[in-house]
Amino acid sequence: MAFKILLSLILALNAVQFIAAVPTRRAQCADGTTVSNEACCVLLPIIADIQPNLFENECGEEVHETLRASFHDAIGFSRAAGGGGADGSLVTFGDVETTFAANAGIDEIVETLRPFINSHNISAGDFIQFATVVGLTNCPGAPRIPFFLGRPDATAASPDGLVPEPFDSVTKILERFDDAGFNPTEVVALLASHTVAASDTIEPGLEGVPFDSTPGEFDRQFFIETMLKGTSFPGTGGNQGEALSPLPGELRLESDGLLARDERTACDWQLFATDQQKMASAFSDAMVKLSLVGQDKSQLIDCSDVIPRTIPLTNEPYFPADLTKDDLEKTCPDEFPDYPSNPSVTSVAPVPTS
């Protein structure tokens, strides 16, 4: 009897192992593309639409703004105050959320995205996160970020006050992120988004003001240049949330400067300034986590295989003209590399607006 029971267990275990070894059935979409799940086919026409018609196949203004929208939508979640996280409420309830002070200027990308969302059969939450990871593939050096499909439609606007402000203290920023489920290392990783970012609202009268000297590339320059001693403002200066930057035409957020120098985050910041692979990998992991805030991952479909291939980064890190590592304001005791000084980088031009 014991032998029969043992034999049955062995056969059952083998059956389970056999089932687990059977590959997931792949599906062929209408255009002939093979995907891991038939549900992912809906994403292919979206790529064909947004790459030329929204992003113009570039790492430009619309990529920057869509990335900003994905963060402002997803961070709208709090264990205490509620909010749906990455649910598309920024668009669905745009008449409410675009009036929040921290969302200044975001109404333009919300209205730009709306007709694209309306013409495709996925939720606003899915579209914002999907468009973000697709757009980033136009930026050399950016990672290929996984995407999960199936977010339900938002049912309410996010509460106000959940998006960190550039004039917030480091303590307040870390507490806000902790409330949403992120640790300090992940906070710094998410700020890699600023390597392809620009401001339209901090400096009155100035649009497309970059945060580093290579706003069209997903590289380490943002982390490097934020560690440098600030010497000037791109415009009038003295604006709330703005700090001195090391290059004419470059804008530094006060919060970025503080995080680069705070003992709780400085070593993560310096690591990302010195290791492109670790920076990109940490950003990818943090972005996936951000895209799932407020969502049940077990109810979503992994459609990561449809994300376009990324573009390799070819440039090497540098200090701007006449600057060296002696101009860094370091808090972390780790050694910093002797990057060369690039004599051609004496100022930063605005990012062309759409």
Annotated binding site: 73, 85, 87, 89, 194-195, 212, 214, 219
Q: Give SS3 for 331.
A: coil
**Catalytic-labelled residue, pool 51, 61, 66, 72:** 72
Question: Using N-to-C axis directions, what is the helix angle for 43-53 and 107-118, rounded to 10°?
Answer: 140
User: Which residues belong to the annotated binding site for Ca(2+)?
Assistant: 73, 85, 87, 89, 195, 212, 214, 219
Cα–Cα distance, 202 to 209 (Å, whole number): 9
Name every residue whose Cβ is closer than 8 Å to that of residue 51 and which is 6 or more positions away in sequence: 57, 134, 138, 308
Give the DSSP H or E segment for 52.
helix 43-53
Written as six digits, the tokens of 6 are 């043992």
Distance CA 270, CA 337 (A): 10
Alpha-carbon distance values, 206 to 85, 167, 198, 239, 348 (Å): 31, 19, 10, 12, 13
DSSP state of 338: -
Say if residues 90 and 106 touch (Cβ distance below 8 Å). Answer: yes
Annotated binding site for heme b: 194
Respond yes or no: is residue 72 known to be catalytic.
yes
Residue 325 CA to residue 336 CA, distance in Å, equals 7
Q: What residues are annotated to the active site? A: 72
